[in-house]
């Protein structure tokens, strides 16, 4: 197209919300995205999907107009969604493209807006409780709500979405009894303390996790392997599964096992985020946790992980869970011997999560961040798995 085709006649270019863009992607519609962030930021994280075509062209190369090589990559008959980090630069680029005659909009609030998407889906499981999975598509973080009788618990909550948990618990008609973490997270800021500030919920940490140096201003309780917590009519069993971290702990309700970052539906945990120098020893510990504490359970155990990656395949309802028996059949790592497992895991680790040391310090209570600083720290992918799908056949 050329500049003499159509113009926006001075009008403002249209915007699209992150929620609407996500709906388009989920519906299977063909989506074309022009990402104008730097190549480094794009490579670190961007919007994916089988029906998403995306081109990265940094904004600073577009200050003098739209170059011919970019125009050659843009579709003539398809809407283009332009995005940047926060929404300002993308709007200006979209206006230029509209002047060139393209059908275009820009992503409102950019990738920061994309990181605000948080979705709630109730799991179809045979447990005498309402169990919901929360998904953050931008990072693959998963959290869970368990509601039974007049009590509820949330597992691995994110600070940025505290209000969602509180509102959902009220909508169900229960009171939040517990806010639990499976371990000290390295990819997002935990919501335990903010939930405790807004509700009467008790903060719960695995005892080995607290022993890493937790210094909270608020009181909290610790749990150890074999303990149980009552939530309404159901019991949460505490299962210590170290490897990803020394404090990594799973919780089990009925036949649903919340594995945190120990086992995902497409991979296993990486062992180097607590102590990079001890990754091989941690990988050995992870192998023992998997073979002794998880793989010995019935094949119909529902694995409900703490994250999903682009390599994970969602269920028909969009959730990320899998029966343990299925994972035994499809995940190579779960049939390896110890030596092979250790070597494979430590040789296939992706880059560490962005700002992981600051995030860990914040989650230990050793560093403070306001809400905006905390949100900025955790932008990007989680990268808590040993690999992105390389462990499945």
Least confident among 75-79, 161-165, 251-255: 75-79
Confidence of residue 180 (pLDDT cuts 50, 70, 90): very high
Q: Are 109 and 207 contained in the same domain?
A: no
- Rounded to the nearest integer, the mean pLDDT of the chain is 93
CA distances (Å), 25 to each of 20, 32, 47, 228, 260, in order? 9, 10, 10, 41, 27
Does one domain contain both 231 and 286?
A: yes
Whether 385 is in a domain gets the answer no
9 pLDDT higher than 50: no
C-beta separation of 211 from 223 below 8 A: no
241, 257, 229: which is closest to 249 by C-alpha? Answer: 241
Does the residue 382 lie in any domain?
no
Q: Annotated catalytic residue: which of 21, 25, 83, 84?
A: 84
> Is 84 among the catalytic positions?
yes
Contacts of 306 (CB under 8 A, 6+ apart): 141, 142, 143, 156, 182, 258, 259, 260, 261, 264, 384
- 347 and 258 assigned to the same domain: yes
**What pLDDT digit, counting tens, does each position of 107-119 carry?**
999 999 999 999 9
* 6 occurs within a structural domain: no
Residue 86 has pLDDT above 90, yes or no: yes
Instruction: Answer yes or no: do 341 and 371 share one domain.
Output: yes
pLDDT at 3: 34
In a domain, 9, yes or no: no
Tally of domains in the chain? 2
CATH number at residue 36: 3.40.250.10
Does residue 1 carry a pLDDT above 50? Answer: no
pLDDT of residue 352: 84
Q: In what order do the strands lie in the sheet with 234-240?
A: 228-231, 234-240, 249-253, 256-260, 302-305, 322-323
Question: Is residue 221 domain-resident?
Answer: yes
pLDDT above 90 covers a percentage of the chain that reads: 89
- What is the pLDDT at residue 387? 67
* CA–CA separation, 302 and 327 (whole Å): 10
55 and 153 inside one domain = no
Nearest by Cα to 298 from 274, 319, 327:
327
CA pair distance 270, 255, nearest whole angstrom: 25
Report the pLDDT averaged over residues 208-226: 96
Q: Are 94 and 160 contained in the same domain?
A: no
User: Do residues 152 and 60 both lie within one domain?
Assistant: no
- What pLDDT does residue 388 have? 52
**For residue 70, is it within any domain?**
yes
Residue 91: its pLDDT value, please? 94
Do residues 107 and 66 both lie within one domain? yes
46-60, 194-208, 226-240, 341-355: range with lowest mean pLDDT = 341-355
Q: Are residues 29 and 134 in the same domain?
A: no
pLDDT band with cut points at 50, 70 and 90 for residue 11: low
Domain-embedded: residue 61: yes
Q: 196 and 58: one domain?
A: no
What CATH code is carried by the domain that includes residue 367? 3.60.15.10
Residue 244's pLDDT is what? 96
Instruction: For strands 104-107 and 80-83, give the pairing.
Output: parallel
Mark whether 210 and 288 lie in a shared domain. Answer: yes
Determine the average pLDDT of the residues in 303-307: 97
Within a domain: 239: yes
Please check whether residues 67 and 146 belong to one and the same domain: no
What is the spatial distance between Cα 155 and Cα 30, in angstroms, rounded to a whole number? 35
> Per-residue pLDDT tens for 144-175?
999 999 999 999 999 999 999 999 999 999 99
pTM (2 decimals)? Answer: 0.92
E strands, 200-233, in order: 202-206, 221-223, 228-231
**Full residue range of the structural domain in which residue 59 is found:** 15-41+51-114
Predicted local confidence at residue 263, as pLDDT? 97
Mean pLDDT value across residues 349-356: 85
- Residue that terminates a domain, selected from 114, 131, 146: 114
User: Tens digit of pLDDT for each residue in 312-328?
Assistant: 999 999 999 999 999 99
Per-residue pLDDT at 386 exceeds 90: no
Asked whether the predicted pLDDT for residue 309 surpasses 80, the reply is: yes
Cα angle 318, 322, 324 (rounded to 5 degrees) comes to 175
**2 pLDDT higher than 50:** no
């Amino acid at each position: 197209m050329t500049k003499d085709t159509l113009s926006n006649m001075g009008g403002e270019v249209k915007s699209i919300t992150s929620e609407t863009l996500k709906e388009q992607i989920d519906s299977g519609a063909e989506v074309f995205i022009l990402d104008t962030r730097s190549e480094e930021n794009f490579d670190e994280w961007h919007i994916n999907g089988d029906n998403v075509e995306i081109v990265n062209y940094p904004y600073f190369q577009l200050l003098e107009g739209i170059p011919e090589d970019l125009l050659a990559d843009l579709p003539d008959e398809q809407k283009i969604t332009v995005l940047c980090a926060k929404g300002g630069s993308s709007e200006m680029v979209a206006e230029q493209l509209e002047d060139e005659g393209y059908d275009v909009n820009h992503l409102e609030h950019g990738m920061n807006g994309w990181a605000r998407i948080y979705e709630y889906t109730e799991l179809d499981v045979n447990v005498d409780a309402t169990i919901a999975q929360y998904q953050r598509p931008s990072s693959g973080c998963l959290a869970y709500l368990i509601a039974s009788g007049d009590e509820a618990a949330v597992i691995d909550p994110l600070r940025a979405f505290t209000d969602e948990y509180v509102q959902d618990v009220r909508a169900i008609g229960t009171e939040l009894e517990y806010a639990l973490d499976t371990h000290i997270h390295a990819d997002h800021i935990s919501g335990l303390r903010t939930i405790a500030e807004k509700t009467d919920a008790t903060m719960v940490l695995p005892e080995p996790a607290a022993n890493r140096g937790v210094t909270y201003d608020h009181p909290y309780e610790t749990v150890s392997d074999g303990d149980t917590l009552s939530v309404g009519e159901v019991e949460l069993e505490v299962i210590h599964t170290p490897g990803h971290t020394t404090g990594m702990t799973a919780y089990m309700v009925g036949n649903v096992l919340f594995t945190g970052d120990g086992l995902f539906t497409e991979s296993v945990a990486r062992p180097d985020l607590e102590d990079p120098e001890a990754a091989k020893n941690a990988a050995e510990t992870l192998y023992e946790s998997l073979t002794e504490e998880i793989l010995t359970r019935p094949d119909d155990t529902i694995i409900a992980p703490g994250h999903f990656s682009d390599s994970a395949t969602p269920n028909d309802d969009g959730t990320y869970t899998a029966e343990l028996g299925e994972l035994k059949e499809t995940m190579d790592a779960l049939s390896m011997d110890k030596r092979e497992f250790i070597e494979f895991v430590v040789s296939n680790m992706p880059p560490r999560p962005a700002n992981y040391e600051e995030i860990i310090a914040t989650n230990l209570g050793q560093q403070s961040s306001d809400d905006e600083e905390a949100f900025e720290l955790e932008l990007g992918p989680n990268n808590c798995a040993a690999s992105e799908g390389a462990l499945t056949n």
